[in-house]
Structure 1
Amino acid sequence: MQNLTPKQIVEKLDRHIIGQSDAKRAVAVAIRNRWRRQQLEADLAREVAPKNIIMIGPTGVGKTEIARRLAKLTAAPFIKVEASKFTEVGYHGRDVESMIRDLLDKAIAMVRSEQAVIVKEKAEKAANERLLDLLLPGSHEATPQPATPQPSDAGEYVPAEDSEERKQRARDRIREQLEAGKLDDREVELSITSKPQTSVMFANMGLDQMDPDMANMFEKLIPEQRKSRKTTVKDAREILIDQETDKLLDPEKITSEAIERTESGGIIFLDEIDKIASNSNGKSGGGSPDVSRQGVQRDLLPIVEGSAVSTRHGTVHTDHILFIAAGAFHVASVSDLMPELQGRFPIRVELTSLSKEDFIRILTEPQNALTRQQEAMLSVEGLNVTFEPAAIEAIADLAAQANATLENIGARRLMTIVEKVFEQINFEAPEMKEANNTNVTITDSFVRDQVAAIVKDKDLSKFVL
């Protein structure tokens, strides 16, 4: 995916996101620049800073979706954080460095998942052998001495070698049944070793903000817990595969690769960054004065500029992590951020509000369009749902009207309208199938009958739509 050209990146984003071409082009160039930097000599590459982006636009126009799809496209570690959740160091709340720790945790999970696929076959074989031991207790005991006779099924004594062969034949028979899934419902007793999650135990203390060495010390002090658990063979297989996978994986190698991937390919989406900006009247983007807003910006600045963040897994350098910030900037503006912080976001793009025509495209063009989701969901109930073009237009029109008269929440309004249109059908779907009423056509009049009355009542619209 690293070799995708900006045009190819935009084309792939177009499959899921309608419009906002400026924002798509900006993120496409930022990703391509990251690949270009990796082709440079090491000394020069270190000096090339990422082209961080600020997206400016109302809610529901695609800011988060662009960043999320971009991360999927590039298989990069990605997290979304709300800037308003952080507080200045010294106040109660999360510190800004916790976002780097969260990003590294995501990278570790990604690398572990990829490595688990590589050792999957070995882990499955080892898990099956352990299942055979549970199903055939004693089948792997030491081979008896040849001089010791063993009783046969008929009662006479046979050489020990024959007894061992019988055990192996029995094991092979059980293995065949196990692999064929014939024993999936049989119960076995497993011994499971687990360690209490320190993040839960020390939730009030904020373990993620604790000194990494101290956090590791707490983890080592807490003993592992061993308990027996009865479960089916099917469920036991999954547990044992996980255990065998852990044995085959190299934690240090995973951590090392995850840190490298975080530093060179990580993406952090900073939402609601306008909420930590203060305008000339001392008001924050959230509409209320708050002395810690400037403090959050000061704490955020070194992270975006490039610094070393200590985590329980090692030190992460943030110099080449890509930051994509976003905000509506209704009250404050980008210029109300600290000048130093503004300078670290050289690319700024403005996303436009969505029109009725955009809503029609959103309902029909993307692979995950709401109309296709509804068709798929109701097909599970045996219903065949089709939309008339006029019905699509009616949904888009009602969403546009609601955004114009109420608060403009962009494409999120479509989900509310569509859910309202299908409210009765979703409720009656099982009975409709029993009555052989399986063909459902959504028409213009049906849509308006379900929603129009609510749109007209402004007081009711505030609560329903």
Structure 2
Amino acid sequence: MNMIPQEIVDYLDQHIIGQNNAKKTIALALRTRYRRLRLDPPLQDEIMPKNILMIGSTGVGKTEIARRLAKLMQLPFIKVEASKYTEVGFVGRDVESMVRDLVMTSYSMVKAEHNENNKEAIEHYIVDILTHKLHPEVPHFPTEEEKARHEISKSELSKKIRNGGMDDRLVEIELSTGGIEFNDTNMPPEIARVQESFSKMFSVIGKEENKKEVSVAEAKEILRQEASEKLLNHDQIKREALKRTEEGGIIFLDEIDKIAVNSRSDGRNDPSKEGVQRDLLPIVEGSIVSTKFGSIKTDHILFIAAGAFHLTKPSDLIPELQGRFPLRVELEPLNEDALYLILTKPKNSLLEQYKALLATEEMQLSFDEAAIRAMARYAQRANEKTEDIGARRLHTVVEKVLEDISFNAHLHKNSAVTVTEAMVNTILLPLVEDEDLARYIL
């Protein structure tokens, strides 16, 4: 998607409060990728992605910025936790599997687009098969008049099937026993391909014996998968998925501070941490990873790493890995004003979500301005007294305030309920004042 940096920042502002430096840095990184693709191929290869390291406490918006951007730009995007990976030789997920996960995400995106683009052909395939199954055969040696009546009747039935008029009718269809996809990205691609080949072979053998009577509505969904497999060019989808991953893929590597080795420790607590960093290095620098759809170069995949770095610091990462994240941005902790804005300003804010949920019970929920301020204040105080979990504290605070109202929503049917500052104080003040209660309840 061709968006200038300011448009990207404006979009993020609708959903995320503050953190302007982080928004600006990522918007520029994405725009640079767009600019690179407009250059001549020899120069394109020379321009490496400017990977980003985001530093900030939990709940300040690191993940949300990356997630919203990927959704906006319609780019292959995955979020992984660095702490889930292990050094080669240890039991666990190897770091190459994150690239395979990204390719799988890209493949799903491209396949969905091709399904949408071939929507009419897929629909025609489904209706044609169901019409053939539900409509009686033309009589032997038909007259011209019988042929004409048969075609008219068949056409009318097709229209009914297409418009949902036959959805409750039962029809017998053959169910495919295969089609199992082996998406374990930690499995060697060669083994995954062999297993899928066996799966498809056995599905063909058992298909004729696996018949079932289902409604036409259910049959449409079953046949849609079959139509997709038969009508789409899967080789083209694979090639496009690989290309899109190489040129636009984004891997959000969260908790990178968890694999940093504190300079004051000897590293004996977890000897694999530095090993994970060294395994990660060639992927971030640029290497070739084998996937079941083909080999992929990671040179131009954008890596956005994030971590709180409470017990460690970025300099505790191995120097080579530090050098592969040239853009550093520190996210600001959230104060009371920021928490208030998070409750009120974003599209589909937390309070708007609760209003919509309780509206399904025919109840009109509203909040006094002073009540919203009070919830932001108590969330901030709870963050100060216990662990600072940023905006995530608001979910607990608002849920606690609305607990009884939500539980008794059926009693407030066709009525309006306003949350006041007094209600907020009554519920939250005792919890926040008692540090033990705050630690376990808020």
Please say if 1:416 is aligned against 2:412.
no
Q: Which residue of 2 aligns with 1:189?
A: 172
Contact kept? 1:265, 1:322, Cα under 8 Å: yes
Deviates more, 1:313-322 or 1:450-459: 450-459
Please say if 1:454 is aligned against 2:431.
yes
The 1:379–1:260 alpha-carbon spacing in structure 2 relative to 1, beyond 3 Å, is same
The alpha carbon displacement at 1:198 in A equals 5.9
The 1:167–1:304 alpha-carbon spacing in structure 2 relative to 1, beyond 3 Å, is same
The alpha carbon displacement at 1:221 in A equals 2.1
Paired residues for 1:127-276 under 5 Å = 127-136=126-135, 138-139=136-137, 144-145=140-141, 159-195=142-178, 197=180, 199=182, 207-222=184-199, 223-224=202-203, 225-226=206-207, 227-276=210-259
Matched to 2:140, the amino acid is P
Deviates more, 1:174-183 or 1:6-15: 174-183
Instruction: Point out the structure with max Rg over C-alpha.
Output: 1
Matched to 1:87, the amino acid is T
Contact kept? 1:78, 1:106, Cα under 8 Å: yes
Partner secondary structure for residue 460 of structure 1:
helix
The alpha carbon displacement at 1:122 in A equals 1.6
**5+ residue gaps, structure 2:** none
Partner secondary structure for residue 40 of structure 1:
coil
Matched to 1:34, the amino acid is R
Matched to 2:66, the amino acid is A
**5+ residue gaps, structure 1:** 146-158, 201-206
Give the TM-score, by structure 2 length.
0.95
Partner secondary structure for residue 114 of structure 1:
helix
Paired residues for 1:79-158 under 5 Å = 79-136=78-135, 138-139=136-137, 144-145=140-141
Contact kept? 1:144, 1:160, Cα under 8 Å: no
Partner secondary structure for residue 171 of structure 2:
strand
Q: Give % identity.
A: 48
Please say if 1:310 is aligned against 2:272.
no
RMSD: 1.7
| C-alpha distance in structure 1 between counterparts of 2:262 and 2:322, whole Å | 14
The alpha carbon displacement at 1:228 in A equals 2.3
Q: Which residue of 2 aligns with 1:392?
A: 372
Which stretches of structure 1, 4 residues or longer, exceed 6 Å deviation after superposition? none
Contact kept? 2:182, 2:196, Cα under 8 Å: no
Paired residues for 1:363-378 under 5 Å = 363-378=343-358
Deviates more, 1:275-284 or 1:399-408: 275-284
Deviation by residue 1:288-336 (Cα, 9 ceiling, x = unmatched):
8210001000000000000000011100100000000000001111001
Contact kept? 1:123, 1:248, Cα under 8 Å: yes
Contact kept? 1:308, 1:316, Cα under 8 Å: yes
Matched to 2:276, the amino acid is V
| C-alpha distance in structure 1 between counterparts of 2:227 and 2:191, whole Å | 29
| C-alpha distance in structure 1 between counterparts of 2:411 and 2:270, whole Å | 55
Deviation by residue 1:77-123 (Cα, 9 ceiling, x = unmatched):
00000000000001000000000000000000000111111110121
Paired residues for 1:50-69 under 5 Å = 50-69=49-68
Matched to 2:420, the amino acid is T
Please say if 1:442 is aligned against 2:419.
yes
Deviation by residue 1:211-268 (Cα, 9 ceiling, x = unmatched):
3223211221232153223322222222223322322210000000110000000000
Contact kept? 1:120, 1:245, Cα under 8 Å: no
| C-alpha distance in structure 2 between counterparts of 1:186 and 1:196, whole Å | 26
The 1:104–1:170 alpha-carbon spacing in structure 2 relative to 1, beyond 3 Å, is same
Paired residues for 1:322-361 under 5 Å = 322-361=302-341
| C-alpha distance in structure 2 between counterparts of 1:12 and 1:198, whole Å | 36
Deviates more, 1:410-419 or 1:189-198: 189-198
Please say if 1:282 is aligned against 2:272.
no
Matched to 1:448, the amino acid is N
| C-alpha distance in structure 2 between counterparts of 1:22 and 1:180, whole Å | 51
Q: Which residue of 2 aligns with 1:155?
A: none
Aligned length: 436
Matched to 2:405, the amino acid is I
| C-alpha distance in structure 2 between counterparts of 1:215 and 1:296, whole Å | 24
